[in-house]
């Protein structure tokens, strides 16, 4: 695990050097390094997810949102995390199987990471950094926190876990960002 984490750190830009989502490379569920620069020109919703959380049913709404807008340049990037109450204890393989079988998830899912604390992934250091992202920065409080990223890789909105994927404020934000 230490070797994997060291490799992971080398593949990711640090929060302090990053200026956009595109500066990061993250391992997909199967471990393949995936440059987030592959999302250039798309509107991205970055979500920290968990399989055993009260908010887990949001996977259904996230998948519906993705299906509705993906042809317009929208993508959801799911990042499993076990930071809150041990609600994501599974392996990457178990997480992928759960998401596909229970919720039919087809949006990109990444390897399990830490979204807060001393081992926080550099991507989440960037997303939560109040200097880099003054309007959306701040510590992640729970699973299913959502960050909306524009076509230029800039974080423009943050939605806390209680905001459902089909909530008017989130859908309106996605639609208006897609039009830009």
Q: Is the pLDDT of residue 13 over 50?
A: no
* pLDDT, tens digit (0-9, with 9 covering 90-100), for 51-91: 999 999 999 999 999 999 999 999 999 999 999 999 999 99
> Assign residue 41 a region: left if phi > 0, alpha if psi is -120 to 50, beta otherwise?
left
- Which residues share a beta bridge with 27? 33
Instruction: Just list the catalytic residues.
Output: 53
Domain 2-179 sits in CATH 3.40.30.10 = yes
Name the band, by pLDDT with cuts 50, 70 and 90, for residue 11: very low
- The candidate with the shortest Cα–Cα distance to 145, out of 128, 158, 127, is 158
The pTM of the whole model exceeds 0.85: yes
* Domain residue spans of the chain: 2-179
Q: Is the pLDDT of residue 3 over 50?
A: no
CA 68, CA 60: separation in Å to the nearest integer? 12
């Amino acid at each position: 695990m230490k070797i994997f984490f060291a490799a992971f750190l080398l593949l990711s830009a640090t929060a302090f050097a990053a200026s956009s989502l595109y500066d990061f490379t993250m391992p997909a569920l199967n471990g393949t390094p995936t440059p987030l620069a592959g999302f250039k020109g798309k509107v991205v919703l970055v979500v920290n997810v968990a399989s055993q959380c009260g908010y887990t049913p949001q996977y259904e709404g996230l998948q519906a949102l993705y299906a509705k807008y993906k042809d317009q340049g929208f993508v959801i990037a799911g990042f499993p995390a076990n930071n809150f109450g041990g609600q994501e204890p599974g392996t990457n393989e178990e997480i992928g199987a759960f998401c596909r079988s229970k919720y039919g998830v087809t949006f990109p899912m990444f390897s399990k990471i830490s979204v807060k604390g001393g081992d926080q992934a550099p991507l989440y250091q960037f997303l939560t950094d109040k200097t880099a992202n003054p309007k959306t920065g701040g510590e992640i409080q729970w699973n299913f926190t959502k960050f909306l990223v524009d076509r230029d890789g800039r974080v423009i909105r943050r939605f806390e876990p209680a905001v459902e994927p089909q909530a008017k404020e989130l859908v309106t934000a996605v639609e208006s960002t897609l039009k830009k």
